[in-house]
Amino acid sequence: MEEQFYTYQYPHPAITVDCIIFGFDGQSLKVMLIQRKSEPFAKMWALPGAFVDEAESLESCAERVLQKEGNISGVYLEQLFTFGLPSRDPRERVISVAYMGLVKTADFELIAGNDELQIEWRDISEIPDLAFDHSQILQTAIDRIRGKIRYQPIGFELMNAKFTIPQLQQLYEAILGKSLDRRNFRKKLLSMQILKQLSEKQQNVAHKAASYYEFDRERYEVLMKEGIYLELV
């Protein structure tokens, strides 16, 4: 490694971006965790993250993390919160800007990085103790996604382009951790007119085949511009 130093007149903390990547596999809500190779917290599970490069924006840094861990791009990302307690990293002062991402697990091919022993999707109901303050960061993210999915159609980011209404409902139930009434869920969803029904139907299922829909993003943008507030659950 090249020896180089950066000098400042005042102390500058280090900045990382840590990513909470939620994934849906059709059954339950997962989160991407890595197992650390090095100290501090070697062998512990943690959120994937990276130090912010000199010339990249915070969001670009989050995108870079996603590239690194699964060679994926173009996904939904939003800034969650910035964690900055002086003691949160034992090495030096490190401020972490957390980003939350939503993906379909099937789109990801998880690749453990150089400094990672393993990388896995973990069900959000079975999360081990995490390194640093990452348990707290993850809890903040879970609270955020639960609150947010009630009034913004972020759930579509976790579904394939075409999906059935019961599949979408399963996602909502996985995120909210409770079951919803089938009839009311469907009624409310269809009344928003943000779904386009496709002619295609499910195949090879041992019950009545559900029909596929896709998210009508254009229609959604129009509604948002009109300031219409979509409460989805």
Contact footprint for a copy of itself (CB under 8 A): 4-15, 51-58, 79, 81-82, 84-86, 93, 95, 97
Nearest approach, Cβ of residue 151 and a copy of itself (Å) = 10
The rounded distance, in Å, linking the Cα atoms of 48 and 39 is 15
Contact 116, 36 (CB under 8 A): yes
Nearest approach, Cβ of residue 170 and a copy of itself (Å) = 23
Within 8 A by CB and 6+ apart from 74, the residues are: none
> Burial of 115 by CB count in 10 Å (0-12 exposed, 13-18 middle, 19+ buried)?
exposed
The site partner of 217 among a copy of itself, DNA, none (C-beta below 5 to 8 Å per kind) is none
Instruction: Using the minimum distance from each CB to a copy of itself, give the nearer residue, 47 or 97.
Output: 97
Which among 5-13, 117-125, 126-134, 182-190 is the span making contact with DNA, rule CB under 7 A?
182-190
At position 46, the amino acid (one-letter code) is: A
The site partner of 193 among a copy of itself, DNA, none (C-beta below 5 to 8 Å per kind) is none
Binding flag, residue 12, DNA (CB under 7 A) = no
The site partner of 57 among DNA, a copy of itself, none (C-beta below 5 to 8 Å per kind) is a copy of itself
Six token digits for residue 180: 């919803």
Instruction: Using the minimum distance from each CB to DNA, give the nearer residue, 132 or 213.
Output: 213
The site partner of 72 among DNA, a copy of itself, none (C-beta below 5 to 8 Å per kind) is none
Rule CB under 7 A: choose which of 205, 217, 221, 224 binds DNA.
205
Binding flag, residue 92, DNA (CB under 7 A) = no
Nearest to 100 by CA among 135, 136, 51, 59: 59
The rounded distance, in Å, linking the Cα atoms of 153 and 122 is 23
- Measured CA distances, 10 to 7, 13, 83, 86, 92 (Å): 9, 10, 21, 16, 15
